[in-house]
Structure 1
């Protein structure tokens, strides 16, 4: 199965949760990060910490360029970074690159988005168009902080409006001092139509293994 992982916003913990999902899954696993900005220049070329984390959590080992085909050094919106480099983030090109996931023999495959659901690609296109074209089931990471109820519900509505299936969501505590955390989590569980795959508390030393211990994937498989 292949899933697309999106989030309520930037820095909601998509990579931690994606890595945890890969760690918790059975069989052969692989995670992709098709677009990433904020990469570091290394002797092997541009490298993104999120993509490297997905590679570390995947049992199937692929070349970095297959995992993260569009890498940009500037930590800015990817479509702006791409325009500055003269790169076109065409949905069909991204889809063609991602279809390799069908041929690597993965039992559990994740494609992690960038930013939130409606990530611009430029020229009026959005990354969500690729998810639509591939008809991928979606997993939503909810960054637990003030405003998360609105962000989560609006994102879920947008996914549904795009004709896609939100198969599950994960509550990831990004603000350790969030007021009324338990009440907010209870409200989300009541209002979200998709099942909750787990609540990951604020981790001072976050690891994929620790986060994975808080997840339940049985509803996905």
Structure 2
């Protein structure tokens, strides 16, 4: 029997909510991409760090007005940009039941004796961990920063981590399923790209730390002007979270 990946399940969960919606606007920024839907909801995903050269999106000028489900299915595409727009589309309709985010380190029970893995270079999180835990292992596709391990090192190192934080962008680059298989300790998916879907808690995820945009127009402006994570939060993006304990309280 073929195993269904977390990405396929995520898309299935979102398509029912997307079926009656259309794409209103798309913004592809330096750090994030955003999709605004016809009901006013907005979803984000990290813009892939790919050397595009002179390439452009072949459907530019034609994406707005399309059915939201069509754009969402790009999440299954091998094309990094289509996958990113697919994730942003899915993220626009997720988040029911999410609450204001607690401190991620406290929520995961991070202790001074822990080895903590961070998949994706998440600067503020890494700085918060340094000096607080026994060891911080950072994995990144581009390991050019000092102390950063190449992404393939997860095969050897991730299983020994007591706590692992995975960037939400791992959904767009199709690595999230395997990363979760490698995790043995407590695990969280974190960042504005994170899909706030409770079903992920059935795949070994303990916490989801994502974001919602109460003011879509302002968020779109920040992204269009080249803003990153700090600028987005400074201009109104809100951190939200969903954990296993939330599902228990809701009687799941």
TM-score bucket (shorter structure): 0.3 to 0.5
TM superposition score normalised by structure 1: 0.37
Q: Could you say which structure has the larger radius of gyration?
A: 2
Q: Which of 1 and 2 has higher RCO (CA within 8 Å, sep 6+)?
A: 1
TM-score by length of 2: 0.34
